[in-house]
Chains A and B, each alone.
Chain A
Amino acid sequence: MIMILLTIVFIIIRVIPGNPVLLKFEKNTDPVLIAEYTHTLGLDKPVYQQYFEYLGGLLQGNLGLSMITFEPVTGQIAARFPATLELTFYSFIVAVVTGIVLGSLGARKKGSVVDGTVKVTGILLYAFPVFFLGMIMQLIFGIYLHWLPTGGRLCPGCAVPGGLSIGSFHLQTGIYTLDSILALNPGELLDSAAHLVLPSFALGLVISGVFIRITRTNMMETLRADYVTAAKARGLKGSTVIYGYALRNALLPVVTVMGLQFALLLSGAILTETEFNIDGLGRYLVDRVSFLDYTAIQGAVVFLAIIISIVALLVDVLYAYIDPRVRL
């Protein structure tokens, strides 16, 4: 899958007529200088050779040099990814918890006003542009109430959390909430967490629309299953039947959907990072796009493809863990 995406992206980017290097220079630049740049970036080689060299580099974790800054793209991505990982992680938790709680609530009260409200909430959240929800939250909680910061990852001028240091051993993940816990610094933890509240809720709530829907439909189905009726007939408590029997089985399809929603989550992360000035991979991509830095864009896309494949694998493993039938 990574190969297919990589190839598609490579083709799209190489479709651009003319030499991307020319975009960087004024019209009357010395052709020798242009040729030198082209050579440094390896763009004077035949396309198929560029393709295979790119593949070779990829296997060694080398995504090439940025066309604008001439720094290795791999390093730039590694510096940006932790912020995105942090944001998507917390958003995902918000999405799944909201989805499962509201979805199962709706299914239990099927046909009632509560159910109708849940259903409409799900559709409404799905239709919400994430950046608009983010703006509303910034306006209410940041500007009017002054409860939470409206952007960035830390208070202005604050030092980056140091991570874990024991003697010469040093571990800094770039995930600020984790780093501040490792550094045993509650002040930094509070600050970085406060900066994450609005973006995580904005992104998480928008994504939760899908989870509400899936949980609700699956829960309705499982609640009609024979084993649920049997459990009820045996006189088990309502909550035991719902949480012990029905919910567990209703969650199977939810897990499958989680993997697919990850792409939606990343799309949303790009917009959320832009809205909240978070220096993550999404904003990196948008920045590079405005500079027409093709190698960097390509690198970011390939990196995303790898991450998505890893997540898909994890979901499969998780699925086998939850559903014993898969293991047989």
Chain B
Amino acid sequence: MASGIVGRLFSPMLKKGSGRGLIIVGVVIVVFVVAMSLLAPYLTKVNPVYSTGQPNSAPSSQHVLGTDLYGRDMFSRILWGGRFLLVVGLLAVMICMAVGVPIGLAASYTGGVVGRVVTLIMDSVYAFPSLVFSLLIVLVFGANVFNYALAIAVVYIPSYYRVVRSQTLAIKELPYVDAARSVGAGYFSVIRKYIWPNVIPSVIVVATINFADAILITAGLDFIGVGDLTKPDWGVDLYYGRTTLLSGAWWTIAFSGAMILLTALGFSLISEGYSERTNPKLK
């Protein structure tokens, strides 16, 4: 079952057609970043959270990417610094999929007052600056991985809801859905067998862009300084790097910032490529 869903989600991605180049570059970037983060302990023996050299030293043979204001090795911090962001992104996407998609399907298929009320709430959250909401949630519930993911999921569920809703509303009026109902297909089986498969492509587009945004929001929260500032993390690097930047210590921000950009770019490319493929208007 699980492999069936994964296969259905990802096999069409690499088929020939428009957007393929974007998807391939995106996947390569994402695989690179994930592999780098997973292999961090094998790629460096230098501890990323303890001082191992002179503070703010420029890149040299000893510290390939220099050190930050506490003398921590930037190369090691780059390797380790993606883990938190990636885990938050993954969890956030999973929560959104598990909550946003079913709510969207059920509320839109049911319609009526329930549909309208849910839409109103979702639209309100959607129109609000995501960073502010995330900030509030992380602040109130505490800055751990799960709460970060939850914070991003809360602001992102409306995006899933909107996409699923617009598709469902169109699909549920189609004759084949009527036909299924008239031969006795129940509420859940109509949603699962006839509506959900047609919603999948749009959900993939939202999910990949959600991943990119999750990385950007999490890094933003770390940059503001709300989270745990002791962890090795690209966003935290920029938080500290900001203070030493004016003295010209570019290496304290350049690599970490570039990694955030690269990771977000990877997911955005996949999203763009996939939406180009599924949206005939762009061909």
- The interface of chain A, by Cβ under 8 A from chain B, is 1, 4-5, 8-9, 12-13, 15-16, 119, 123-124, 126-132, 135-136, 138-139, 143-144, 150, 213, 217, 220-221, 259-260, 263-264, 266-267, 270-271, 274-275, 285-286, 289-290, 292, 297, 301, 304-305, 308, 312
Tell me the complex Cα distance, A131–B250, Å: 14
Tell me the complex Cα distance, A319–B267, Å: 32
Which residues does chain A contribute within 8 Å of B137, judged by CB atoms?
Answer: 12
Interface string of B256-269 (1 = CB under 8 A from A): 01101100110111
Beta-carbon contact of A289 and B139 below 8 Å: yes
Interface string of B215-233 (1 = CB under 8 A from A): 0110110011110000000
Beta-carbon contact of B226 and A289 below 8 Å: yes
Beta-carbon contact of B121 and A9 below 8 Å: no
Q: Is the interface of A mostly helix, strand, loop or mixed?
A: helix
CB distance from A107 to the nearest CB of B (A): 11
Tell me the complex Cα distance, A67–B123, Å: 31
Which residues does chain B contribute within 8 Å of A221, judged by CB atoms?
Answer: 281
Q: Which of A8, A139, A270 contacts B125 (CB 8 A)?
A: A8
Tell me the complex Cα distance, A124–B269, Å: 9
Beta-carbon contact of B129 and A123 below 8 Å: no
Max chain A C-beta neighbours (<10 A), residue from B121, B135, B224: B224
CB distance from B27 to the nearest CB of A (A): 14
Shortest Cβ-Cβ A-B pairs, 6 listed: A132-B257, A267-B131, A127-B264, A127-B265, A266-B129, A267-B129
Tell me the complex Cα distance, A105–B230, Å: 46
Tell me the complex Cα distance, A112–B241, Å: 40
Max chain A C-beta neighbours (<10 A), residue from B129, B130, B212: B129
Beta-carbon contact of A274 and B281 below 8 Å: no
Tell me the complex Cα distance, A292–B142, Å: 12
Tell me the complex Cα distance, A266–B133, Å: 12
Tell me the complex Cα distance, A261–B137, Å: 22
Report if A1-B123 is in contact (Cβ < 8 Å); known contacts: A126-B268, A135-B257, A267-B130.
Answer: yes
Can you name the residue of chain A whose Cβ is closest to the Cβ of B247?
Answer: A143
Tell me the complex Cα distance, A80–B269, Å: 37
Beta-carbon contact of A127 and B268 below 8 Å: yes
- The interface of chain B, by Cβ under 8 A from chain A, is 22, 120-121, 123-132, 135-137, 139-141, 212, 216-217, 219-220, 223-226, 238, 241-242, 245-246, 248, 250, 253, 257-258, 260-261, 264-265, 267-269, 272, 281-282
Report if A123-B272 is in contact (Cβ < 8 Å); known contacts: A129-B216, A266-B132, A308-B128.
Answer: yes
Beta-carbon contact of B265 and A124 below 8 Å: yes
Max chain A C-beta neighbours (<10 A), residue from B121, B130, B140: B140
Beta-carbon contact of A13 and B136 below 8 Å: yes
Which residues does chain B contribute within 8 Å of A292, judged by CB atoms?
Answer: 139
Apart from A15-B140, A15-B141, what are 20 other A-B pairs with CB-CB below 8 Å? A5-B124, A8-B125, A13-B140, A123-B269, A127-B261, A127-B268, A129-B223, A129-B238, A131-B242, A259-B127, A260-B126, A264-B130, A270-B131, A270-B132, A271-B224, A289-B224, A290-B226, A297-B136, A304-B128, A305-B128
CB distance from A141 to the nearest CB of B (A): 13
Which residues does chain A contribute within 8 Å of B131, judged by CB atoms?
Answer: 266-267, 270-271
Which residues does chain A contribute within 8 Å of B127, judged by CB atoms?
Answer: 1, 259-260, 263, 308, 312
Tell me the complex Cα distance, A138–B135, Å: 26
Tell me the complex Cα distance, A323–B223, Å: 41
Max chain A C-beta neighbours (<10 A), residue from B245, B264, B267: B245
Beta-carbon contact of B132 and A301 below 8 Å: yes
Report if A127-B216 is in contact (Cβ < 8 Å); known contacts: A135-B242, A266-B129.
Answer: yes
CB distance from B163 to the nearest CB of A (A): 14
Beta-carbon contact of B269 and A4 below 8 Å: no
CB distance from A283 to the nearest CB of B (A): 10
Can you name the residue of chain B whose Cβ is closest to the Cβ of A16?
Answer: B140
